[in-house]
Structure 1
Amino acid sequence: MSTETIFFIGFLAFNALMLALDLGIFNKKDHAVSFREAAVMSLIWVSCSLAFYAFLTIKGELIHGITNFEQLQEAVVAHKHNIQLIAGDFAASLEVYRKNLALEYISGYLVEYALSVDNIFVMVMIFTAFGVDKKYYHRVLFWGILGAVIMRFVFIFLGAALINQFDWILYVFGVFLVYTGFMMYVNRNQEESIDPENHKVVKLASRFFAVHPRYEGNNFFVRIDGKRMVTPLFLVLLVIEFTDVIFAVDSIPAIFAVTRDPYIVFFSNIFAILGLRSMFFLLVNILYKFHYLKVGLSFLLVFIGLKMLAHHYLESWGFTTAHSLYVIIGILVVSVAASLLFPVKNVQVPEGNKEPGNTREDKEV
């Protein structure tokens, strides 16, 4: 078994343990997650992410089992790291590699985390449109994120294989990201809505499953008169999963603009989406205040797309991973600061961000 495989299995085992503790200890009973709980869980996930960043700066070579200068050269060439090794000095070259690997990871993490905020807007609309009781949000998001981890694994390593085989795909990704960022800016003020009865996922699921018309507590499945049926809560889970697939089409190519190492792409991606669930509960009631964030995300996608299209020129001009990180942080800081400094007056709070009483569990879908 290769070093990469061992490290990969260990990474998944650690995160599986964290999720098991979250579901089995901290959330044994269904309840509406409080701001304090969300803050604690967000702090834990962010701390784990930063701890992994620190690990990469100290022992990043362990991911690929690098033990000598030749292996280090092979890794740099294979994953097209934009660094210069110091001939004859393995220790110094390893230090350069570690720092660059850590910067690629934290840049990818910030990109995915930022783009995930837009996903939260959609999640709020989904829960509101389907009339999901707040105490079941955590259960749906938990299983939704497990599905997202599996799908991201497939997308990332398939994408890495395609890029290695066909380098021109990077330009396709670049054009797509520029277009997506431009359309996000154009449609930034457009009202979005979800029709539960006519949603494509609901219609497709109804062809293959018998759908029970009412919620049955936190159950995804129910047996009625001996017949196994899916509940509306299961349909909500499917819609959440479908939404993540749509967002992955943007976010995964975006991270490949930061690093071509599929393991770093995966690690940064997974840490970000695992933290998304706690971030959802942390931001759900204040997200509407960051009205310039979507503008910032649109500029972020355009920047990343242009970086993909011009990566050969940028590398020759000395544009490094650190420079990309500075631009990413700058865009996010400016968009958040602008939202706080120039608040929109008389803004209508989205329905999902209000604090009404719980919705009725017998609501039909």
Structure 2
Amino acid sequence: MDEATVAVPLWAWAAVGAVIAVMLAIDVLMHRDSHVIELREAVVWSAVWISAGLLFGLVVWFGLGGEPASAYFSGYLLEKALSVDNVFVFALIFGYFRVPPGYQHKVLFWGVVGALVFRLLFILAGAELLDRLSWAAFVLGAFLVWTGWRLAVRGKPDVDPERNLVVRLFRRVVPTDAQYHGDRFTTRVAGRRQATLLLVTLVAIEATDVVFAIDSVAAILAITTNTFLVWTATAFAVLGLRSLYFCLAGLLRHFGYLRYGLALLLAFAGVKLILAETPVGKLPVWLTLAVVVLILAVSIAASIRAIRRGRDVT
């Protein structure tokens, strides 16, 4: 069965939405005291989110078939891999604003909620664009290849929230108190409601994530244009972003070769998207899954080997 032609009933969308809402509610209840997330807790929650994503893949396998499941797993792995770059940038933003560790989970939680909304909008718009305009595949494909090249050669990303147009506009429009007031996003100063520095940090996180969302959604649409598969793969991968941050934020600088692997994945997705509109046609989903796994495995193994040899890969 071609994964792009799989018809998914409305109740399935509603069921997935309900599951995601319940999982987010549980996460809020477990972290309502704004405590510092230690490594052990982050690892446990990462395992929970990854298990949920893999379990849903099995549901797709038994419910829709092998090819849709392969498309889901390919998209899930790709989004998970691209999330690594998000984690590094989020760490830079937190460092820039000097966000206390106990407040970081709250910012990431609402950042993930915003990421889910933006990605759903991009997925629906992107799938409709590819369906109506055949030349859009060439444009998106070229964009992904260029993004991959930029990622490979740019080195460490330059993150300066003060130069972010959205952050600057927010501070100009919304009265802002440049301090933290506990974990509150707003506070009242001299009888006037103002945004706190924590809310400014959230705006910076959301504005930055929009750029990542464009890249990741375009890459997954290169695998399949089935909006249900793209949305669920993206959602389950993004849900674990908070735990992934607390697990990897201090380690990412050592995995230098991973950046090249992500760049190659983006370029591969772009070429795949372009080939789909040529006589070559769509590459098999199983081949896409194999390429994604191979590139990730090689880049991670190369990074670990470099660490053991004491080499600094940047």
**In 2, distance between residues paired with 1:206 and 1:322?**
48
Q: What is the Cα deviation at residue 197 of structure 1? A: 3.9
Q: What is the Cα deviation at residue 148 of structure 1? A: 1.0
Q: Which residue of 2 aligns with 1:41?
A: 45
Q: Which amino acid aligns with 1:52?
A: F
**In 2, distance between residues paired with 1:302 and 1:46?**
25
**In 2, distance between residues paired with 1:346 and 1:129?**
27
Q: Does 1:320 align with 2:284?
A: yes
Q: What is the Cα deviation at residue 324 of structure 1? A: 0.8
**In 1, distance between residues paired with 2:213 and 2:31?**
27
- Paired residues, number: 306
Match among 48, 52, 58 for residue 54 of structure 1:
58
**In 1, distance between residues paired with 2:148 and 2:163?**
27
RMSD (Å), alpha carbons: 1.8
The TM-score, its normalising length taken from structure 1, stands at 0.80
Q: What is the Cα deviation at residue 281 of structure 1? A: 0.8
| Mapping of residues 172-187 of structure 1, within 5 Å | 172-187=139-154
Q: Which residue of 2 aligns with 1:104?
A: 71
Runs of 4+ in 1 over 4 A off after TM superposition: 346-349
| Mapping of residues 248-263 of structure 1, within 5 Å | 248-263=213-228
Contact 2:8-2:228 at 8 Å conserved across structures: no
Q: Which residue of 2 aligns with 1:329?
A: 293
SS at match of 1:218: coil
Q: Percent identity?
A: 39
Q: Which residue of 1 aligns with 2:31?
A: 27
SS at match of 1:154: helix
Q: Which residue of 2 aligns with 1:301?
A: 266
Q: What is the Cα deviation at residue 173 of structure 1? A: 0.6
SS at match of 2:256: coil
**In 1, distance between residues paired with 2:149 and 2:17?**
36
Contact 1:132-1:233 at 8 Å conserved across structures: yes
- The answer for unaligned runs of 5 or more in structure 1 is 61-97, 350-365
**In 1, distance between residues paired with 2:68 and 2:8?**
17
Q: What is the Cα deviation at residue 57 of structure 1? A: 1.2
Match among 100, 106, 113 for residue 133 of structure 1:
100
More helix by share: 2
Contact 1:291-1:339 at 8 Å conserved across structures: yes
Give CA-to-partner distance per residue, 1:45-93, whole Å, 9 cap, x none: 1111111111111112xxxxxxxxxxxxxxxxxxxxxxxxxxxxxxxxx
Q: Which amino acid aligns with 2:192?
A: K
- The answer for unaligned runs of 5 or more in structure 2 is 1-6
Q: Which residue of 2 aligns with 1:167?
A: 134
Distance 1:14 1:338, change over 3 A: same
Distance 1:193 1:256, change over 3 A: closer
Q: What is the Cα deviation at residue 288 of structure 1? A: 1.5
Give CA-to-partner distance per residue, 1:202-235, whole Å, 9 cap, x none: 2111121000121111010001121110001001
Q: What is the Cα deviation at residue 198 of structure 1? A: 4.1
| Mapping of residues 144-155 of structure 1, within 5 Å | 144-155=111-122
Contact 1:211-1:231 at 8 Å conserved across structures: yes
Q: Which amino acid aligns with 2:40?
A: R
Q: Which residue of 2 aligns with 1:17?
A: 22
Contact 2:161-2:204 at 8 Å conserved across structures: no
Contact 1:307-1:314 at 8 Å conserved across structures: no
**Which structure would you say has the larger Rg?**
1
Q: What is the Cα deviation at residue 201 of structure 1? A: 2.7
Q: Which residue of 1 aligns with 2:205?
A: 240
Q: Which residue of 2 aligns with 1:340?
A: 304
Q: What is the Cα deviation at residue 348 of structure 1? A: 11
The TM-score, its normalising length taken from structure 2, stands at 0.93
Q: What is the Cα deviation at residue 156 of structure 1? A: 0.6
SS at match of 1:29: coil
Contact 1:125-1:193 at 8 Å conserved across structures: no
Distance 1:214 1:43, change over 3 A: same
Q: Does 1:210 align with 2:215?
A: no
Distance 1:348 1:261, change over 3 A: closer
**In 2, distance between residues paired with 1:270 and 1:37?**
21
Q: Which amino acid aligns with 1:301?
A: L
Distance 1:293 1:219, change over 3 A: same
Q: Which residue of 2 aligns with 1:75?
A: none
Distance 1:342 1:280, change over 3 A: same
**In 2, distance between residues paired with 1:126 and 1:119?**
10
Q: Which residue of 1 aligns with 2:81?
A: 114
Q: Does 1:287 align with 2:291?
A: no
Match among 261, 270, 276 for residue 235 of structure 2:
270
Q: Which residue of 1 aligns with 2:3?
A: none
Give CA-to-partner distance per residue, 1:97-121, whole Å, 9 cap, x none: x100000000000111101101111
